[in-house]
Structure 1
Amino acid sequence: MTATKDIQQAFKERLDYDELMNCMRCGFCLPSCPTYGQTNQYEAASPRGRIALMKGVVDGLIEPDESVEKQLNLCLGCRACEPVCPSGVKYGHLLEEARDIIQQKKRHKWPVKALRHMVFEQLFPHKERLKNVHSLLAFYQRSGLQKAVQKTNILNALPGNLAQMEKTLPPVPTKKEMKKRPFLFEAEGTRERTVAFFTGCLMDTMFMETNNATIVLLQKAGCKVVIPEVQTCCGALHAHGGEKDQAKKLAKQNIMAFESIQADDIVLNAGGCGALLVEYDHLLKEEQEWKERAAAFSAKVKDFSEILLQQQFVEKQKLSLPSQIITYQDSCHLRNVMKTSSAPRKLIQAINGTVFNEMENADHCCGSAGIYNLTEQEMSMQILDYKMEKVKETHAHTIVTANPGCLIQMKLGVVREGVEESVRAVHLADLLLEAVESK
């Protein structure tokens, strides 16, 4: 069989046909879809259009050629279509399954195959390797090499927006700093809750200071924080990128790691990771020995903002900051999959001395979407430019978000607009710790 025939057959065998049929083509999803809006309402670039493409392949009416793959890849996977769907179509599950089929059945050229193997199998599943890579980045930043390189403008030779993205990278801790953090943190005052902290990959290397800030906040809220040592990458990049089997391996390792901790909750500060963690039961639904364990794991997963509110953090800590206008950009997966949108806003609004201005379409994707801003740069930047227009309307000095990819993207928007001196982007955890320490 040819690769095309293999893909078509796999679509028939693996895609949930009932779920495809659940789409009533009502169009409620269209206004929520960023790519539909940015392509002048091109039907194939909408959720219902992509579902129609998948169904057409299953029914043998459409050949799964490059144009089909292109439209599936153009989707951000933000899942904003799901909350507004009256039929409750699990579009994200269909998209991940379709992408996995295509990636596993198509015949990659050897450079692409080698790159995917290195990233998905040799790098992200191995924390020590990630730390080694980031320690090189730390040396680049601290040695003066970064400033020297920036002065030469040699980075302008990089494709797309990579030169601008380089300016958005936070100060990366050294490998020694990454290794010295303990795995147990007692609560401040009376212990009221024990939580197991999911550290993530980029969050525990490039954004380690944000993880540290999150731990301090949880301690101040009366939580004992335990970090399982053998946890690994959540697998979100793998699941979204057509490497579902590898995502399952990582999920099993994490389930085993957290089962060993008697914790009330599994807490994290990255919506992109959390969206997969809460769906480990779906990821492993066909494996009987793991299904119940995955469901027990997923039931405990919560964003740190929800825990802070439940622990009456606002009542326990007087939050204040110098006068500024703050706006909030939703993490798509935090809002649409983890169903957390009000908690971050309530925490921000509790900060004395600040004004919170809600951004129009704050629930629309910023264009980051994992590595989307690298693989689909043109569309990503169109969406980001639109997002920055909405930021300007709020007159905000501070843009807050709750996911590392969103944070880098919003920082990139600040750089692209040339407003670094008057506007900043910051993770919610870092902002809250600032508000505690400025008392």
Structure 2
Amino acid sequence: TSQHFDTCLGCLACVTTCPSGVQYDKLISATRHQVTRNQERTFSDNVIRTLIFNLFPYPHRLRPLLVPLFIYQKLGLPKLVRKTGLLKKVFPRLAAMESILPKVTVDSFRDNLPEVIPAQGEKRYRVGVILGCVQRLLFSPVNEATVRVLTANGCEVVIPKSQGCCAALPEHQGQAEQAKALARQMIDSFENTGVDFVIINAAGCGHTLKEYGHILADDPDYREKAEKFAANVKDVQEFLASAGITAKLNPLIEGDLTIVYQDACHLLHGQKISLQPRQLLQQIPGVKLKEPVDAALCCGSAGVYNMLQPEIADELGVQKVENLLNTGAELIASSNPGCSLQIKKHLELQGKTVTLMHPIELLDYSIRGVKLLRK
């Protein structure tokens, strides 16, 4: 049972395709919790899982580790490690983690967003923003772009300092008690903020946040709070498509810019969000949107799947990148940090230098009038 469920991506395509409307996402989650409780794992499996679950959901633990990683990259060691292939032979899962490591920058060590950021012009909404774990450390420009786009469109932004992990990682991997504890902390962080909506810019996190009512269904103290919180969660693209863009949008480049949008599984299958990101991108002057073959195919990231099942993940990553490149698009728009890391890895392996950005970064550039450089 453990082997069968460990090789399941949890991409939730089964939820979309099932003609009977079976809620496979909840069945997968419940089964993974049972597997974790009842199945013995190998020593190496336990080591890597312990490492992941005790580091990734806790940014304050992860941030100090960025120092040696920063030095490691500055010394040019990643190229040497990958060229020898030794790490892949001895510790394939550790090699998989190393292979998707994004560039650690000075921004990764900063935590400088204020707790309340006023709206520009007339205030239309008061919204909370969730920073994420990996997102806040390694994709901080996406969070900063999110705040700028929201404030430029009449939103007062609230970012509680007490917020932690959304619980997606432990929830998707059967760590029930850890997931519940993190969900309670998140609910408490936003309880007295008076926000109209809670905004998230990462697909996997968004799906879990919207499932809080299910995760805490057996908790009498939090059940109602969880349902109310989940009802107010919106993916940033979902929110903007509904609220409307009021700021002026400028071209990103001289002439037309061809973009291919990459559907993140937990956005497409988990949250049923597909049209909204495309509609927003098409509002940017000069943008021409391309559609890839088999757009619903998982890229192989699937949370931490590409670290736990690297071989299968690589097969999917190769196919996904080929499909995206075959559109001839100049830029890839991706709404999830895990997907972005996986796609960037396979673009590099194929020797391609196509730019990859979050759609919210493109909207931010467009609002601020920042031009992209053509490669």
Taking structure 2 as the reference length, what is the TM-score of the superposition? Answer: 0.90
- 1:189 corresponding residue in structure 2: 121
Q: Give the share of equivalent positions with the same residue, in percent.
A: 34
CA–CA separation in structure 2 for the residues paired with 1:93 and 1:111:
28
Distance apart, 1:358 and its partner CA: 1.3
- Give CA deviations for 1:385-412 in whole Å, capped at 9, x if unaligned: 2212321321111111100001111111
- 1:268 corresponding residue in structure 2: 200
Is it true that 1:311 corresponds to 2:240 in the alignment? no
Query: CA, structure 1 residues 366+113, in 2 after alignment: closer, same or farther (shift >3 Å)?
Result: closer
The amino acid that maps onto 1:126 is Y
- 2:266 corresponding residue in structure 1: 333
CA–CA separation in structure 1 for the residues paired with 2:41 and 2:56:
21
Is it true that 1:131 corresponds to 2:63 in the alignment? yes
- 1:413 corresponding residue in structure 2: 346
Select 2:295's aligned residue among 362, 365, 373: 362
DSSP-derived class of the 2:295 partner? coil
Is it true that 1:301 corresponds to 2:233 in the alignment? yes
Query: CA, structure 1 residues 155+276, in 2 after alignment: closer, same or farther (shift >3 Å)?
Result: farther
Distance apart, 1:166 and its partner CA: 4.2
CA–CA separation in structure 2 for the residues paired with 1:204 and 1:94:
30
- 2:79 corresponding residue in structure 1: 150
Is it true that 1:431 corresponds to 2:356 in the alignment? no
Query: CA, structure 1 residues 80+352, in 2 after alignment: closer, same or farther (shift >3 Å)?
Result: same
Distance apart, 1:214 and its partner CA: 0.8
Distance apart, 1:69 and its partner CA: 2.3
DSSP-derived class of the 2:106 partner? coil
- 1:89 corresponding residue in structure 2: 22
CA contact (8 A) 1:399 1:425 kept: yes
CA contact (8 A) 2:146 2:201 kept: yes
Distance apart, 1:135 and its partner CA: 3.9
CA–CA separation in structure 1 for the residues paired with 2:135 and 2:326:
30
Distance apart, 1:437 and its partner CA: 2.9
Select 1:198's aligned residue among 130, 133, 137: 130
CA–CA separation in structure 2 for the residues paired with 1:231 and 1:293:
16
CA–CA separation in structure 2 for the residues paired with 1:230 and 1:429:
24
DSSP-derived class of the 1:169 partner? coil
CA–CA separation in structure 1 for the residues paired with 2:26 and 2:201:
23
Distance apart, 1:184 and its partner CA: 1.4
Structure 2 spans left out of the alignment, 5+ residues: 371-375
CA–CA separation in structure 1 for the residues paired with 2:233 and 2:174:
24
1:12-27 matches, cutoff 5 A: none
- Report the RMSD for the aligned CA atoms in angstroms: 2.3
The amino acid that maps onto 1:270 is A
- 1:229 corresponding residue in structure 2: 161
Query: CA, structure 1 residues 70+110, in 2 after alignment: closer, same or farther (shift >3 Å)?
Result: closer
Query: CA, structure 1 residues 117+169, in 2 after alignment: closer, same or farther (shift >3 Å)?
Result: closer
The amino acid that maps onto 2:272 is K
- 2:373 corresponding residue in structure 1: none
DSSP-derived class of the 2:299 partner? coil
CA contact (8 A) 1:414 1:424 kept: no
DSSP-derived class of the 1:289 partner? coil
CA contact (8 A) 1:173 1:208 kept: no
- Give CA deviations for 1:170-192 in whole Å, capped at 9, x if unaligned: 443356522x3322111111111
The amino acid that maps onto 2:312 is M
1:60-75 matches, cutoff 5 A: 68-75=1-8
1:104-143 matches, cutoff 5 A: 104-110=37-43, 112-120=45-53, 122-141=54-73
Distance apart, 1:267 and its partner CA: 0.1
Give the structure with the larger helix fraction.
1
- 1:30 corresponding residue in structure 2: none
CA–CA separation in structure 1 for the residues paired with 2:287 and 2:356:
15
CA contact (8 A) 1:204 1:211 kept: yes
Structure 1 window deviating more from structure 2 (325-334 vs 93-102): it is 93-102
- Give CA deviations for 1:361-389 in whole Å, capped at 9, x if unaligned: 21221111011112112211211222123
CA–CA separation in structure 2 for the residues paired with 1:188 and 1:139:
39
Query: CA, structure 1 residues 119+436, in 2 after alignment: closer, same or farther (shift >3 Å)?
Result: same
CA contact (8 A) 2:166 2:182 kept: yes
Query: CA, structure 1 residues 167+237, in 2 after alignment: closer, same or farther (shift >3 Å)?
Result: closer
Query: CA, structure 1 residues 150+233, in 2 after alignment: closer, same or farther (shift >3 Å)?
Result: same
The amino acid that maps onto 1:262 is G
- 2:106 corresponding residue in structure 1: 173
Query: CA, structure 1 residues 343+175, in 2 after alignment: closer, same or farther (shift >3 Å)?
Result: closer
Query: CA, structure 1 residues 70+269, in 2 after alignment: closer, same or farther (shift >3 Å)?
Result: same
Q: How many residues align?
A: 364
DSSP-derived class of the 2:185 partner? helix
Query: CA, structure 1 residues 386+119, in 2 after alignment: closer, same or farther (shift >3 Å)?
Result: closer
CA–CA separation in structure 2 for the residues paired with 1:181 and 1:117:
31
